[in-house]
């Protein structure tokens, strides 16, 4: 019985900010490339949901037994993200959920736990998602470096597409990057010390440990997928490991940026998109030590090619037109609009309506057959009482019946607020707002899809709901 990756998925937010946009604001030198930035209504939780939906494509969602969420940028310091992701994905109730946080290692720690859960027979399908949306201090090296994104892997022992042949890890108390409970941004000791005695020591150490344990050499792998502190250090490490340029997986640093705990996972998904059956992959993550995994691609990989993954998400993008928009997106200043109450917050109400607010459930009337969203007690068409079948609408596509662009609600971080009436395929109407949109290219009748987003933070908790967007990947 081999345990491995049975499915993969990823998510890259649609917005990219060029290094030039950053340089212009701070009067620094250019810099090449761009990085992915979550829309104002995205966070590590919503991006994890996106990556998981991609990963679960073609899978019965009710087959997921465990869900691990790895991140250094959880949406709450207290309150699990995984349980909310599970609700948005409409997973079973009797599953195990856990967040693994507080370290760049959050992703590989989650993966190791998932592998062990499947090996032990505790779970047949263990979903691991790693997601990051971490703003950096303005005008800093981190600001140039950090990007947002997510990946998801389903670990199982049947229909394995990527066998996990072995793993090796080392732990280290080395303090390089940290964040105090009241800090907004991560802090770092002097970079040269941090890199030389952290990243550039632990990474070779874990690779050589794994090679010794399994009697292999880095040359034995078709691809080496490893976390890159930054582009220069990623290149230095390649030389230290004596890798051929063809072996080195693109660290995505000039297209997505460093997505911290999610970084190596997003690179791995990109590698799997290109991988052929029989390929061997060395996968290495960093943080509080390091973890290395020895992977082997099987024939099954051909059956899970239809993911949006990294490549298709990268192709679909909108450039951040100016830095001020980014400041609004990440809410990095005190705003005039903060005086105005934007919306109504009530956890009681959100809890009562959780099935449709979170799990995107509509209903089909057993009497007249019409589909309705949100859920009603009395049928909107035939007035039948409490006689419905619940149906999940989150993956339904639809067409834009009508829309408007409200420039008056200046309280939205990204005016105009685009309102939409979307008629779903197979029935049902969704009344929501449009996100990830180019306001110049909207038109009645255009195809739309639903996406889980953070709508507002009234009452100081996060209100999530489903929005629509023009179909991201055809």
Q: How far is CA 39 from CA 184, 187, 327, in A?
A: 19, 24, 11
> Shortest distance, CB of residue 433 to other proteins, whole angstroms?
5
Contact between 374 and other proteins per CB under 8 A: yes
Among positions 162, 202, 463, 469, the unique one binding other proteins when judged by CB under 8 A: 463
The one among 288, 372, 436, 449 contacting other proteins by CB under 8 A: 372
Instruction: Enumerate residues 339-368 that contact other proteins by CB under 8 A.
Output: 339-346, 349-350, 353, 357
Per rule CB under 8 A, is residue 456 in the interface with other proteins?
yes
Q: Judged by CB under 8 A, does residue 376 bind other proteins? A: yes
**Minimum CB separation from other proteins for residue 59, in Å?**
28
For residue 249, what is the DSSP state?
P
14 contact partners, CB below 8 Å, separation of at least 6: 39, 316, 317, 318, 436, 472
Contacts of 131 (CB under 8 A, 6+ apart): 11, 44, 45, 47, 48, 51, 69, 70, 71, 73, 149, 150, 151, 262
Q: How far is the CB of 155 from other proteins (least distance, A)?
A: 33
Strand partners, 363: 372, 390
Q: Which residue has the tokens 């739309």?
A: 448
- Provide the CA 115 distance to its chain's centre, in angstroms: 20
Does residue 380 touch other proteins according to CB under 8 A?
yes
Tokens, residue 309: 């993954």
CB of 419 to other proteins, least distance (A): 5
Q: How far apart are CA 188 and CA 231, in angstroms?
A: 18
Stretch that binds other proteins, among 188-196, 219-227, 325-333, 337-345 (CB under 8 A): 337-345
Helix (H) or strand (E) holding 267: helix 263-274
Stretch that binds other proteins, among 99-107, 112-120, 231-239, 338-346 (CB under 8 A): 338-346
Q: Of the two residues 184 and 404, which places its CB atom closer to other proteins in the complex? A: 404
Rounded least distance, CB 443 to other proteins, Å: 8
Q: Give least dist CB 273 to other proteins, A.
A: 35
Binders of other proteins in range 394-433 (CB under 8 A): 401-409, 411-412, 416-417, 419, 421, 423, 427-429, 431, 433
Residue 404 sits at φ, ψ, to 5 deg, of -150, 165
Q: Toward other proteins, which CB reaches closer, 159 or 353?
A: 353
Minimum separation from the CB atom of position 412 to other proteins (A): 7
- With binding defined as CB under 8 A, does residue 452 bind other proteins? no
User: Does residue number 458 form part of the binding site for other proteins (CB under 8 A)?
Assistant: yes
d(CA 329, CA 284): 32
Q: Which H or E run contains 281? A: strand 280-286
| Binding-residue total with other proteins (CB under 8 A) | 48
Whether 454 and 43 have beta carbons less than 8 Å apart is answered as yes
Min separation Cβ 109 and other proteins, Å: 33
Spatial distance between the Cα atoms of 45 and 388, rounded to a whole number of angstroms:
30
Question: Tokens 């909108």 appear where?
Answer: 318
Interface contacts to other proteins, rule CB under 8 A: 339-346, 349-350, 353, 357, 370, 372-374, 376, 380-381, 401-409, 411-412, 416-417, 419, 421, 423, 427-429, 431, 433, 444-445, 455-456, 458, 463-465
């Amino acid at each position: 019985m081999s345990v491995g990756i049975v499915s993969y998925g990823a998510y890259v937010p649609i917005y990219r900010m060029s290094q030039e946009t950053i340089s212009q604001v701070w009067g620094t030198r250019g810099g090449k490339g761009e990085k992915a930035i979550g829309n104002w209504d995205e966070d590590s939780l919503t991006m994890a949901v996106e990556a998981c939906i991609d990963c679960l494509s073609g899978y019965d969602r009710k087959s997921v037994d465990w869900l691990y969420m790895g991140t250094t940028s959880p949406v709450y310091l207290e309150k699990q993200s995984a349980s909310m992701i599970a609700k948005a994905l409409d997973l079973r109730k009797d599953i195990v959920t856990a967040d693994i946080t507080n370290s760049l290692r959050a992703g590989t720690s989650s993966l190791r736990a998932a592998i062990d859960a499947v090996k032990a027979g505790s779970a047949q399908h263990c979903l691991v998602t790693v997601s990051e949306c971490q703003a950096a201090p303005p005008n800093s090296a981190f600001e140039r470096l950090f990007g947002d994104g997510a990946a998801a892997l389903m670990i199982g022992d049947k229909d394995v597409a990527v066998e996990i042949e072995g793993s090796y890890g080392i732990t280290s108390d080395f303090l390089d990057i940290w964040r105090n409970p009241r800090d907004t941004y991560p802090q770092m000791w002097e970079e040269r010390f941090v890199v030389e005695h952290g990243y550039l020591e632990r990474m070779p150490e874990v690779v050589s440990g794994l090679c010794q344990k399994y009697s292999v050499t880095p040359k034995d792998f078709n691809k080496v997928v490893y976390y890159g502190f930054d582009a220069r250090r990623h290149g230095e490490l390649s030389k230290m490991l004596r890798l051929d340029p063809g072996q080195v997986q693109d660290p995505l640093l000039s297209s997505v940026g460093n997505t911290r705990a999610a970084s190596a996972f997003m690179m791995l998904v990109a590698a799997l998109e290109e991988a052929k059956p029989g390929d061997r992959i060395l996968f290495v993550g960093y943080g509080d030590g390091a973890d290395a995994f020895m992977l082997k691609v099987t024939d099954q990989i051909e059956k899970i090619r239809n993911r949006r993954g990294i490549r298709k998400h990268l192709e679909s993008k909108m450039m951040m037109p100016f830095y001020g928009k980014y400041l609004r997106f990440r809410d990095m200043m005190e705003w005039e609009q903060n005086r105005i109450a934007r919306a109504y917050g009530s956890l009681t109400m959100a809890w009562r309506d959780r099935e449709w607010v979170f799990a995107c459930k509509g209903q089909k009337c057993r009497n007249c057959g019409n589909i309705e969203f949100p859920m009603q007690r009395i049928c909107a068409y035939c007035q039948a009482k409490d006689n419905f079948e619940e149906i999940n609408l989150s993956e339904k596509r639809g067409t834009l019946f009508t829309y408007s662009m409200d420039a008056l609600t200046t309280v939205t971080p990204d005016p105009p607020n685009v309102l939409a009436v979307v008629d779903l395929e197979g029935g049902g109407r969704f009344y929501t707002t449009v996100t990830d949109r180019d306001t110049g290219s909207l038109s009645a009748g255009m195809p739309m899809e639903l996406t889980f987003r953070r709508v507002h933070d009234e009452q100081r908790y996060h209100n999530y709901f489903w929005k629509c967007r023009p179909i991201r990947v055809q």
